């Protein structure tokens, strides 16, 4: 019983960070900058949700702030980037489809946090 209550409360405390971006890729230099931005997201533990949408699970608001600051430090000079945080509960209510077939949302893996 205690574990169910903790999990339920934890769904509101833990967050998902979603990064949406549309970066210019007309020139070789712009493609390199866009590729570098995506690589930095991957290096920081983000995974690709769609081509220009990356996401990362964070166990706490403080952890999400750390990753948010890293994103801001790596922003390219041009392009549009959006960063959104939603609770694990909100993320779990998302409906996903591949074509007309509905699929389950991924559960976050257990992560070890060191302070």
- Please state the residue numbers annotated as binding site: 22
Are residues 88 and 14 in contact, defined by beta-carbon separation less than 8 angstroms?
yes
The 3 state secondary structure assigned to the chain is CHHHHHHHHHHHHCEEEEEEEECCCCCHHHHHHHHHHHHHHHHCCCEEEECCEEEEEECCHHHHHHHHHHHHHCCCCCCEEEEEEEEHHHHHCCCEEECCEEECCCCCCCCCCCC
Residues placed in the known binding site for Mg(2+) = 22
């Amino acid at each position: 019983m205690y574990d169910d209550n903790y999990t339920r409360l934890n769904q509101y405390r833990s967050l998902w960070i979603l990064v949406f971006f549309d970066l210019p890729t007309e020139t070789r230099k712009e493609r390199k900058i866009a590729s570098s931005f995506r690589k930095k997201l991957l290096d920081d533990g983000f995974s690709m949700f769609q081509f220009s949408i990356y996401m990362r699970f964070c166990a706490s608001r403080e952890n999400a702030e750390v990753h948010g600051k890293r994103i801001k430090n790596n922003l390219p000079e041009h392009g549009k980037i959006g960063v959104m945080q939603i609770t694990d509960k909100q993320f779990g209510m998302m409906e996903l489809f591949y074509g007309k077939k509905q699929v389950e949302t991924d559960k976050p893996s257990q992560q070890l946090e060191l302070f």
